[in-house]
């Protein structure tokens, strides 16, 4: 297995401290705080660790405080309800005795019912697209250190954006984005793991779409972004190790907050999940250069 994916899977081997208490490792992915997708995926795994044969169909979360990636995170699970068809769980993530994240999820026993879905957008297949998620070295040398640190971290997720990324001279464009993504190697056949890793990956790129109409209006290092909440609905079975299309749009930005929503499709066009997120988008005052 690819060492990057092996390291990610190690983060999803939670230590059980008590019946409803778990501890997970953190990683530095180049952002100032713990990556929100990591906390989201680990919280879902903690909840799943108290569930028998039901499958997650929805989750809702709030990010309360910045997490420190140098420290582990403790997850406390509350078994809110266990029913025949549905069960509910609440999870609190804790660091240094303080809540950094709250999470609720609902699980359902698989059953048949009515079906319909929206159509997948017509986009080029991932094999025809270059990996634009990382700039060429000559471009990277001209980027702010904060952005370089994030872009050049090795990560276990492959991403192929459909729309080209202009790192040096970004222009305003509609708040719509399409990205093919998957983990970089084959995974075991465990539906819980695939759902948790999809939750992990769903936090990449989502909020960034809300900044696209404002690209080029201010330096990247004057922008502060952080997830406030995250919601997700799982519609159909999914494999996180096969190409998935993330179709994202941002209907609104206001009050120093941006809102984005996403649809996740598999290669066959099945809508496997939907997401929604609101996050902080704050532009700081321009920094004055030393005289």
Positions marked active-site: 203, 227, 277
Q: What are phi and psi of 193, to 5 degrees?
A: -65, -40
The helix or strand, by DSSP H or E, that contains position 150, with its residue range, turns out to be: helix 145-151
Residue with tokens 């270059």: 130
The structure tokens listed for 271 are: 């809508």
Q: Is 255 left (phi over 0), alpha (psi -120 to 50) or beta?
A: left
Beta-strand (E) ranges in 96-148? Answer: 98-108
- The 3-state DSSP class for residue 111 equals coil
Rounded CA separation 215/147 (Å): 15
Beta-strand (E) ranges in the chain? Answer: 15-18, 21-24, 55-63, 73-82, 86-95, 98-108, 157-161, 176-183, 223-234, 244-254, 257-266, 271-283
3-state DSSP helix/strand/coil % of the chain, to nearest 5:
20, 35, 45
- The 3-state DSSP class for residue 138 equals helix
Rounded CA separation 236/156 (Å): 23
DSSP 58: E
With beta carbons less than 8 A apart as the criterion, state whether 74 and 109 touch. no
- The 3-state DSSP class for residue 11 equals helix
């Amino acid at each position: 297995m690819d060492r990057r994916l092996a390291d990610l899977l190690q983060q999803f081997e939670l230590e059980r401290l008590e019946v409803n208490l778990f501890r997970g490792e953190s990683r530095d992915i180049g952002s100032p705080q713990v990556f929100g997708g990591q906390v989201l995926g680990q919280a879902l795994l903690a909840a799943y660790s108290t569930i028998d044969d039901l499958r997650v169909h929805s989750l809702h979360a709030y990010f309360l405080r910045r997490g420190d990636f140098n420290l582990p995170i403790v997850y406390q699970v509350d078994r809110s309800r266990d029913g025949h068809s549905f069960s509910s769980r609440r999870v609190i993530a804790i660091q240094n005795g303080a809540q950094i994240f709250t999470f609720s999820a609902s699980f359902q026993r698989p059953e048949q019912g009515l079906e319909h879905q929206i159509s997948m957008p017509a986009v080029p297949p991932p094999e025809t697209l270059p990996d634009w998620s990382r700039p060429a070295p000559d471009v990277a040398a001209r980027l702010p250190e904060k952005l370089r640190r994030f872009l050049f971290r090795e990560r276990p997720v492959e991403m192929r954006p459909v729309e080209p990324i202009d790192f040096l001279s970004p222009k305003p464009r509609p708040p719509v984005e399409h990205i093919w993504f998957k983990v970089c190697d084959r995974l075991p056949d465990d539906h819980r793991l695939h759902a948790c890793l999809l939750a992990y990956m769903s936090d990449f790129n989502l909020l960034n779409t809300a900044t696209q109409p404002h690209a080029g209006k201010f330096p990247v290092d004057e922008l502060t972004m952080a997830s406030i909440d995250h919601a997700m609905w799982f519609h159909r079975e999914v494999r996180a190790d096969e190409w998935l299309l993330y179709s994202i749009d941002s209907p609104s930005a206001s009050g120093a907050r941006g809102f984005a929503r996403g649809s996740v499709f598999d290669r066959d066009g099945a809508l496997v999940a939907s997401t929604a997120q609101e996050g902080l988008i704050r532009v700081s005052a321009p920094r004055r250069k030393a005289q």
